[in-house]
C-alpha cells in the first residue's frame, strides 16, 4: 500500500467519523434532556445525564398530551398511502416501459414533474378544493394527498429498475399468451420487489415526517398526523419545559428508524437496482 492510498483512507475515515459525530451529538442531547424531570429542568440544555424520568416524560407525551392517537394516525397513513402510491407508481412505470403507449418519454416527464415543483405552491388551491369538497380535516382527504404525493418519486425509482429488465422476458411471456395484467402481477412485480420495497420505505418516511399537509389540511386530534400533533405539544406543554417535548420527539423518531434497520438489506438492493 503506497503513501497516497494510506492518506486517502485516513482522510475518508476521519470524514466518516466526523459525520457520525455530527449525527450522534444531537441524538445524545435529545436522550439526555428527555430524561430530566420536567419540573426540574434548568432552562438550558444539559450535557450530563441526571434523574431518569424518561418514562414519565414519554407517558406524559403519549397519554396526557394525546400524541398516541396521532401516532396511530400517522402509522395508518404511512403504511396504507405509501403502499397505494407504490402500486400506482408501479402500474404507471409498467405502462411507460412495457405497454405500447404513444410518447412514453412525454408521460415519464409528466408524472415525474410532480417532484419538481415545491409543495407550497399547491397549498392555497388544495385548501380551497378540500373545503369545497368537504375533505378538509378528514382522514380520506389526507390519504388522497399522501397517496398522490407518493407516486412521482416512487415512479422514478421503479421505472428505472423496470427499464433494466431484459426485453426477452416480456416477449417470451407474450408469446405464451400472457395478458398485460398477468405480465404485470406475475412477472414484473416479483422481479421488482427490491425496487418496490425501496420505494415504499422512502414514501413511508416521507408521509411519516410530513408536517406541511398535516397542519394545513387537518386540525382535530382524531385526524392529525403525529408531526402536527408534535407542534401542538410544543405549544401546550411549553410551560412544563422541553423534556416532555423531547420525549415526544423521541417516540416519533422510532418507527422510521425501525423500518430502516429491519429492511436495510431490501432498501440497499432496491436502490442499487434502480441506479443501474
192-222: pLDDT as tens digits: 888 888 889 989 999 999 988 998 898 888 8
For residue 264, report the phi and psi dihedrals to the nearest 5 degrees.
-65, -35
Chain mean position to CA 249: 16
Query: How crowded is the C-beta side of 3, counted as CA atoms within 13 Å?
Result: 0
Q: Which of 257, 83, 268 is nearest to 194 (CA)?
A: 268
Q: What percent of the chain has pLDDT over 70?
A: 91
Segment 76-86 shows an average pLDDT of 94
Q: Read off the pLDDT of residues 112-156 as tens digits, 9 standing for 90 and up.
A: 888 888 888 888 888 889 989 999 989 999 999 999 998 999 998
For residue 173, the domain's CATH number is: 1.10.3720.10
Count of structural domains, the chain = 1
pLDDT at 175: 80
Q: How far apart are CA 14 and CA 105, in angstroms?
A: 43
Average pLDDT score, the chain: 83
Q: What is the mean pLDDT of residues 53-69?
A: 78
Single pTM value for the model: 0.83
Identify whether 183 is part of a domain: yes
268 assigned to some structural domain: yes
Residue 36, domain member (yes or no): no
Residue 17 domain-assigned (yes or no)? no
Does the pLDDT of residue 274 top 60, yes or no? Answer: no
Question: Which domain does 208 fall in, by range?
Answer: 67-274
128 assigned to some structural domain = yes
Q: CA 51 → CA 42, 61, 62, 69, 243, distances in Å?
A: 13, 18, 20, 28, 12
In a domain, residue 224? The reply is yes
Q: Residue 26 domain-assigned?
A: no
Q: Which of 8-22, 29-43, 94-108 has the lowest mean pLDDT?
A: 29-43
What's the distance, CA 215 to chain centroid?
17
How would residue 33 be classed by pLDDT, with cut points 50, 70 and 90? confident
Question: For residues 79-105, b (16+ Cβ closer than 10 Å) or e, as one string?
Answer: bebbbbbbbbbbebbbbbbbeeeeeee
Specify the higher pLDDT residue, 224 or 169: 224
Q: Give the pLDDT mean for 31-38.
A: 80
Is 43 inside a domain boundary? no
Amino acid at each position: 500500500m503506497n503513501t497516497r492510498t494510506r492518506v486517502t483512507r485516513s482522510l475518508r475515515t476521519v470524514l466518516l467519523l466526523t459525520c457520525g459525530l455530527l449525527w450522534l451529538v444531537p441524538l445524545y442531547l435529545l436522550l439526555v434532556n428527555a430524561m430530566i424531570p420536567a419540573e426540574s429542568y434548568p432552562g438550558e440544555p444539559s450535557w450530563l445525564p441526571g434523574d431518569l424520568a424518561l418514562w414519565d416524560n414519554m407517558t406524559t407525551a403519549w397519554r396526557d398530551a394525546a400524541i398516541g392517537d396521532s401516532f396511530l394516525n400517522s402509522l395508518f397513513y404511512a403504511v396504507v398511502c405509501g403502499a397505494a402510491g407504490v402500486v400506482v407508481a408501479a402500474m404507471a412505470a409498467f405502462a411507460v416501459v412495457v405497454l405500447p403507449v404513444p410518447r412514453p418519454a412525454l408521460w415519464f416527464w409528466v408524472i415525474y414533474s410532480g417532484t419538481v415543483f415545491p409543495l407550497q405552491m399547491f397549498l392555497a388551491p388544495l385548501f380551497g378544493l378540500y373545503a369545497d369538497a368537504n375533505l378538509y380535516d378528514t382522514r380520506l382527504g389526507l390519504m388522497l394527498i399522501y397517496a398522490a404525493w407518493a407516486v412521482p418519486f416512487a415512479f422514478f425509482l421503479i421505472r428505472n429498475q423496470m427499464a433494466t429488465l431484459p426485453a426477452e422476458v416480456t416477449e417470451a411471456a407474450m408469446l405464451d399468451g400472457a395478458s398485460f395484467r398477468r405480465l404485470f402481477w406475475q412477472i414484473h412485480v416479483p422481479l421488482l420487489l427490491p425496487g418496490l420495497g425501496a420505494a415504499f420505505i422512502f414514501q413511508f418516511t416521507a408521509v411519516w415526517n410530513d408536517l406541511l399537509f398535516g397542519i394545513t389540511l387537518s386540525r382535530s386530534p382524531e385526524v392529525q398526523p403525529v408531526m402536527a400533533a408534535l407542534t401542538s405539544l410544543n405549544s401546550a406543554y411549553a410551560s412544563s419545559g422541553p423534556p416532555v417535548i423531547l420525549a415526544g420527539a423521541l417516540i416519533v423518531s422510532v418507527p422510521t428508524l425501525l423500518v430502516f434497520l429491519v429492511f436495510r438489506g431490501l432498501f440497499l438492493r432496491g436502490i442499487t437496482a434502480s441506479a443501474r
